[in-house]
């Protein structure tokens, strides 16, 4: 399996995934928003399928930990929205050249950072859940970043309910995204092997977060995470723009 990826690339990718998993386990989001732009710079093949698989893993671990706080009421409407959103996202992946995809991912990260900084109060109903699911499907399939639309909608819940609800949603939505990618020929055996190689980094980040909970300032961690995401989006924008100009 190691022949699938350069050892230095694997080390960098594992460090990025570890940081994302640690962040998400501490504050409720971060794996995809942190990892996607950086991994796309390191090796575009690592986005989106392996990141989606890592997101599924951390969501499953989080839900096991927060299962007593789960309220799944209404999330089925968001999952319905993931279907058309995922189809739109997969179509974009097929049609757009790599530099355009890089710029698209950078834009999605910037939108995610913006939404994370703002405080909105949106009524939760079937329509709003379905619409959030559509945008989550587009963002999640293109860049593995399906969280911000749902996080925006569920922001009024307490921290444990928030993490549990998002984790339950991500478990099912990640499976939907992987199935859609497979149907479009965008999920291969190579992607699955790469995911297995990166899986230990997810477990290490999750386990370390369990020891750090209560010892770190979550708000400062959140701000630092968003700053890192913004910087990553900027670097990816510069790289993709230069590739587009030189191409």
Q: DSSP of 121-173, one letter per residue?
A: ----SHHHHHHHHHHHHHHHHHHS--HHHHHHHSTTS-HHHHHHHHHHHHHHH
Q: What is the pLDDT of residues 23-39, one digit of tens each?
A: 988 887 789 999 999 99
State the average pLDDT over residues 108-124: 83
Q: How many structural domains is the chain composed of?
A: 1
Q: What is the pLDDT of residue 151?
A: 79
CA distance 73 to 165: 9
Neighbours of 39 (CB within 10 A): 28
Q: Assess contact for 244 and 99: CB atoms under 8 A.
A: yes
2 lies in a domain? no
Confidence of residue 72 (pLDDT cuts 50, 70, 90): low
How high is the pLDDT of residue 164?
78
Q: Which two tokens stand for residue 140?
A: 């999640």
Residue 153's pLDDT is: 80
Report the alpha-carbon distance of residue 234 to residue 44 in Å, rounded. 16
For residues 64-80, average pLDDT = 81
Q: Is residue 1 domain-resident? A: no
- Residue 170 belongs to a domain: yes
In terms of residue numbers, what domain contains 54? 7-246
Mean per-residue pLDDT, 198-226: 89
Local confidence band at 109 (pLDDT 50, 70, 90 cut-offs): very high
The C-alpha atoms of residue 192 and residue 184 are separated, in whole angstroms, by: 16
Residue-level pLDDT at 219: 83
Among the listed residues 82, 28, 75, the one whose alpha carbon sits nearest the alpha carbon of residue 55:
28
Structural domain contains residue 205: yes
H or E stretch including 178?
helix 159-183
The Cα 140–Cα 120 span in angstroms is: 21
Report the alpha-carbon angle 237-111-74, nearest 5: 145
DSSP element (H, E) containing 228: helix 218-246
Q: How far apart are CA 32 and CA 54, in angstroms?
A: 8
């Amino acid at each position: 399996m190691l022949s699938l990826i350069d050892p230095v690339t694997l080390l960098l990718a594992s460090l990025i995934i570890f940081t994302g998993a640690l962040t998400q386990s501490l504050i409720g989001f971060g794996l995809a928003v942190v990892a996607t732009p950086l991994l796309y710079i390191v090796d575009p093949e690592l986005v989106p399928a392996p990141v989606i698989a890592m997101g599924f893993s951390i969501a499953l671990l989080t839900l096991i930990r927060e299962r007593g706080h789960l309220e799944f009421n209404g999330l089925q409407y968001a999952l319905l929205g993931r279907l058309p959103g995922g189809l739109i996202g997969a179509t974009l992946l097929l049609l757009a050249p790599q530099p355009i995809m890089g710029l698209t991912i950078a834009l999605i990260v910037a939108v995610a950072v913006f939404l994370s900084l703002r405080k909105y109060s949106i009524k939760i109903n079937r329509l709003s859940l379905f619409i959030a699911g559509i945008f989550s499907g587009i963002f999640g399939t293109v860049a593995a970043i399906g969280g911000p639309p749902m996080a925006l909608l569920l922001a009024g819940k307490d921290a444990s309910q928030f993490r549990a609800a998002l984790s339950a949603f991500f478990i099912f939505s990640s499976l939907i995204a992987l199935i859609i990618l497979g149907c479009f020929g965008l999920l291969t055996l190579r992607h699955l092997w790469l995911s297995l190689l990166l899986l230990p980094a997810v477990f290490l980040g999750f386990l370390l977060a369990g020891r750090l909970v209560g010892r770190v300032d979550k708000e400062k961690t959140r701000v630092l995470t968003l700053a890192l995401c913004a910087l990553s989006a900027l670097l990816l924008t510069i790289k993709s723009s230069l590739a587009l100009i030189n191409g």
